A and B are shown apart, each in its own frame.
Chain A
Amino acid sequence: MPIIISHQDFTQTNDRIFVSVPLHGVRANKADIYANDSYLKINFPPFFYEADLLHLVDTKNSEANVGDGCVKFSLKKSRRLDAVKRELERIEQEKKEKAIKKREEHYKLIQEQLNVEQAEKAQVESLRLQEKLQAEVQLASIIPHLKCFSEQEGIQTWKNQLKNKKTLEDSGIDSTIFVSSKNTADVVNDEDEDYIDMKAIEEKVQKELDKMKIASKPNPRQSGTINFQFTSRGLLPTATARETEDAKWVHRINQAWEKDAKARVDNLYDSLKDDEKNQYVAIFLKDKGNAFFKTGNIQAAINAYTAALMLDKNLTVCFMNRAVCHLKVEDYLACIYDCSAALEILTTEHAYLQERDALTALERQHELNSSKVKLFVRRAAASTKMGNYVDAARDYKIAVELDPKSVDLKEDLQNLEKMILENKFCEM
C-alpha cells in the first residue's frame, strides 16, 4: 500500500507552474515520473504522488528535477499559448471561409450574367428563325405558282392578258382598217357576184388582222453612229497617270545611265590604274567593237578593237575581229599583220597551257585548231587579194592540214594552185 503524498509546494508565474514535492531520499533512478498535459504522477516506492492540474500544461517545455530530497516540476502553462493558437486558427478559418464565400458569390454572379445574355441571344435567334421560316413558307407557296407559270398554260394566260390589253388599245386602229378594207371590198362588190365578194372581204380582213399580230414589235431602228470625246483632265485615275509616271521614271533612269556612262568613259584611257579594271574595260571595248561591226560601222569597230588592244595586248579575239574588219575595208597588209599577231598569241598561250595543265590543253586543242584555221584562211584571203599567191597557198596548205575534213578548203587550195600555175604560165 503506497504512501500517498498530498503535500506540495505550488507557485506559479505568468507562464510557468513550479511544483515542488518533498520526498526524502528520492533519486532519479528510483522514481518514476509521469506527466501529461493535465496530470502529474510520481511513483517512488513506497511513496506515491499524483496531481491533477486545473489547466493544460505544455509537457515539451517542462522539466522535472529530482534530487535534494524533493522533486521539482517546472511546467509551462499551455493554456494561454493554446488559446492564442486556437484563436489564430479560428481567425484563419474564418478568413478562408470568407474567401470561399466571396468566390462563390462572384461565380454565381457571372453565371447569372451569362444566363441573361444567353436568354437574350436565344430570344433574338428565335425571332430570326421565325422570320426565316415565314419567308421559306412564303417562298414555298410562291414557287409552285411560278413553276406552273413557266408552263404553257401560264404563258397562255399571260399572252391572253397581253392580247386583251392590246386589243383594248388598238381597237381604234383595228376598226379603221376594217372600215378601209370594207370600202375596197365595196368597189369589188359592184363587179362580181355576192358570195365571192364576201369571201374576198373575209380574206382581206383576215390578212389585216394577221398583219396586226405580226407587227406587234416595231421594226429595227434606223442605224446610226455617234462620235464623242472623252474628257481630258489632269487628275485622271489609273491608266494615263501611270503612263506619265512611267515616262518620267524611264527618263530619270536614262539620265542616270548616261551620267554613269560618261563617268565610265572618262576613266577609260587611264591605263595606269588597276589592271583588273583595264581588263573589264578592254572586254567592254571588244563588245563595242562587235556591236559596231554588226551595225556595219567598220571603222568604228576597228577603233574600238585598237583601243581594247591598247589596254590588253593579248586579246586574241580583238586581233581576229580586227583582221576581218581590215579585210572588209581592203586594208590587206594590216589584215595579214593582225592574223599573224593573233596566231602568235594563240601558239604561245597554248604552249604555256601545255606546260601547266596538259589536260585542258588537250581539251582546248580543237578550239585552237578551228581558230587557227580561220586565221590562216583569212591571211590567205588577204594575200590572194594582194596578189601574193605563194604565201596564200602556203597558208591554205597549213589550214588543210589542220582541218582535213573540210572539203571547201581543199577545193580552194586546188583553185589557188591552178591560179599559181596559170600565173607562172602567164609570166612565162
Chain B
Amino acid sequence: MADALKKPQIIVLETKSLNYTPYDVKWIPCSARFVVLGQYARGTGAVAVYELEQGRAVLVKEIEKPHAIKCGTFGASTLEERHLATGDFEGNLNVYDLERPDVPVFSTKAHDLIINCIDGCGGVGIQTGPPEIATGSRDGTVKVWDVRQKDKPVAVISPAEGEQRRDAWTVAFGNSFNNEERVLSAGYENGDLKMFDLKTMSLLWETNTRNGICCAEFDRKDIQMNKMVVTSVESSFQVFDLRTRHPTYGFTALSTKNKDNTTIWTVKHLPQNRDIFVTSSGSGSLNFEGKLKQNTSKNQTKNLCSKYPGNRVKQDPKDKLNVGVVGTVELLNNATLAEQPISAFDWSPDKLGLCVFSAFDQQIRVAIVTKLA
C-alpha cells in the first residue's frame, strides 16, 4: 500500500458538467485559464474559457460559433497574442483572439469536409521557424497554413490522382530545431503513418501500423526528432525511435498493447519531461508512461515509462548499416476517471503535473498528477 503511494498519483481537483459536447481542451499558455471547444446540441460551435480559482474552475466566457468546432491549438501564435487556431466541422480554419472573439483574426476555408486535427508550430515556446498551422481533414488532405499568407496554403499534402481518399486523423509537427527544418507527420484511418519534410517538400518516410492511427505526437517539437508515440484503435500504441533511420527498415518501433482493448484516443508528452507521456483510452482511463528517477518496478498497477537503452544504435548484421534501438516503455500508473472515452487531454505548460481532460460524458476534469519530478 505504501509502495503504491510512491508512484505518481492523479488527483482530480474539479469536475465540471457541460451542456455541450466537448471535443478539445487547451490550456492558455502562461495563465491559469483553459479553453474548451465543442458542439452544442443544436449543431453550433462552443468556445468556453474557464479560469482556475482556488481549486475551482469558473466560467469566464462562453461564445457560440456558427459551426461546431472540432480541434484547436495555440501552437502557432506568439505569447503576447495567444491566438487560438480552430478547425470546425465545415472545414473552416479560424484564428481567434480570445479577448475579442466575435471576428476571427484569420479565416479561410481550409477543406471541404470536417477538419479532424490541427497542430501549430513556430509560436509559443518554439522559437525557430515560421509560424505554421497544419490541418488534416476527412478528405484525405493535410494542408499547412501560414497566418501571414491568406488563402494560399504553404503546403498541400494530398493523395495522388485517382487514389481513394482516407481520413487524416492526426497531424503533428516536429524536428523544428532551426529556421528551415521542420517535419510534419500525419496519421490516417487505414493505419498509414507518413512523415513529410517541409524543407524539401517531400515524403520523408512512411509506414503502416495495422490499425487506424488516432493520435501521433513527437516528444518535442523544437529539437532534432528524437521519439514519437503513435496511438491507434484496438488499444495499441507504438513508440518510434527517430534518431536512426535505416534505409530499408526505416525507424524502429516498439509496439505495446493495453489490456483493456479499447481505442487509445490521445497521447500527450509532459512539457517538462519529454520521457513521460500519458495515453487516454476508450475505457475512460489514463495511463502514465515514462521514466522516473527512482526504481519502482513492481507490477501491482501498471506503470509505463520509456527507458533509453544502453546503446541507441546497433548494427544490422546483414548490411552493416545502423539500426535504431528503441528501449523500453514502462507503465508508471493508470487510473480510470470516467465511464466514457477520454477524447482530449492537455498538460499545463506552466505547472508540472496540472492537466485538464474532457470525456464523452460531457464533463471536463481538472486534475493534478503528483510525483512526476
Contact = CB atoms under 8 A, between A and B. Distances in A.
> Binding site of A, secondary structure by majority: helix, strand, loop or mixed?
helix
Interface in A131-181: 131-132, 134-136, 138-140, 142-143, 146-147, 149-150, 154-155, 158-159
Nearest to A158: B79
Interface string A235-276: 111111000000000000000000000000000000000000
Contacts of A235: 210
A79 B351 CA distance: 92
Contacts of B203: 226, 228
A131 B11 contact: yes
Contact of A226 (B11, B53, B156): B156
8 interchain residue pairs of minimum CB distance: A224-B201, A220-B146, A150-B31, A226-B157, A227-B160, A231-B208, A220-B149, A143-B32
B226 interface: no
A140 B31 contact: no
Contact of B54 (A140, A149, A240): A140
Nearest to A155: B80
Contacts of A147: 31-32
| Chain B interface size, under 10 / 10 to 19 / 20 to 34 / 35 or more | 35 or more
Contact of B192 (A218, A230, A238): A230
A236 B192 CA distance: 10
Given A227-B158, A228-B206, A231-B206, 15 more contacts: A131-B9, A135-B13, A135-B368, A142-B350, A150-B31, A217-B122, A217-B131, A221-B144, A225-B156, A225-B201, A227-B159, A228-B159, A228-B194, A237-B189, A238-B189
Given A139-B368, A143-B52, A230-B166, A221 B154 contact: yes
Contact of A217 (B1, B130, B144, B202): B130
Contact of B160 (A140, A229, A238): A229
B354 A139 contact: yes
| Chain A interface size, under 10 / 10 to 19 / 20 to 34 / 35 or more | 35 or more
Contacts of B156: 224-226
Contacts of B192: 230-231
B30 A146 contact: yes
Contacts of A220: 130, 146, 148-149, 154
A140 B154 CA distance: 43
A177 to B, nearest CB: 18
B261 interface: no
Contacts of A136: 13, 55
B370 A131 contact: yes
Interface of B: 1, 5, 9, 11, 13, 30-32, 52-55, 79-80, 122, 129-132, 144, 146, 148-149, 152-160, 163-164, 166, 179, 188-192, 194, 196, 198, 201-203, 206, 208, 210-212, 233, 350-351, 353-354, 368, 370
Nearest to A231: B208
Contacts of A222: 154, 201
A303 to B, nearest CB: 46
A230 B13 contact: no
7 contacts: A139-B52, A143-B53, A222-B154, A227-B159, A230-B166, A235-B210, A237-B211
A237 B211 CA distance: 7
A223 B160 contact: no
B153 A159 contact: no
A243 to B, nearest CB: 10
Contacts of B163: 229-230
A405 interface: no
Contacts of B190: 230-231, 236-237, 239-240
A233 interface: yes
Given A127-B5, A139-B368, A236-B190, A218 B79 contact: no
B31 A226 contact: no
A122 interface: no
A150 B60 CA distance: 15
A133 to B, nearest CB: 10
A124 interface: yes
A52 to B, nearest CB: 78
B131 A229 contact: no
Contacts of A135: 11, 13, 353, 368, 370
A219 interface: yes
Contacts of B196: 226
A245 B60 CA distance: 51
Interface string A189-221: 000000000000000000000000000011111
Nearest to A137: B55
Contacts of B353: 135
A139 B13 CA distance: 10
A357 to B, nearest CB: 56
A221 B188 contact: no
Nearest to A124: B1
Nearest to B161: A227
A171 to B, nearest CB: 17
Contacts of B148: 220
Contacts of A120: 1
A230 to B, nearest CB: 6
A240 B198 CA distance: 31
A229 B53 CA distance: 50
Contacts of A230: 159, 163-164, 166, 188, 190, 192
Given A142-B350, A227-B159, A221 B55 contact: no
B233 A221 contact: no
Interface string A100-133: 0000000000000000000010001001100110
B301 to A, nearest CB: 14
Contacts of A127: 5
A222 B368 CA distance: 42
Nearest to B145: A220
B11 to A, nearest CB: 5
A209 to B, nearest CB: 20
B32 A225 contact: no
A211 B30 CA distance: 28
Given A131-B11, A155-B80, A226-B202, A237 B32 contact: no
A146 B202 contact: no
Contacts of B129: 218
A135 B11 CA distance: 9
Contacts of B351: 138-139, 142, 146
A124 B11 CA distance: 14
A237 B159 contact: no
A102 B163 CA distance: 81
Given A127-B5, A219-B130, A228-B159, A237 B11 contact: no
Contacts of A237: 189-191, 210-212, 233
A217 B124 CA distance: 12
A213 to B, nearest CB: 13
A367 B192 CA distance: 67
A138 B210 CA distance: 44
A135 B8 CA distance: 12
A154 to B, nearest CB: 7
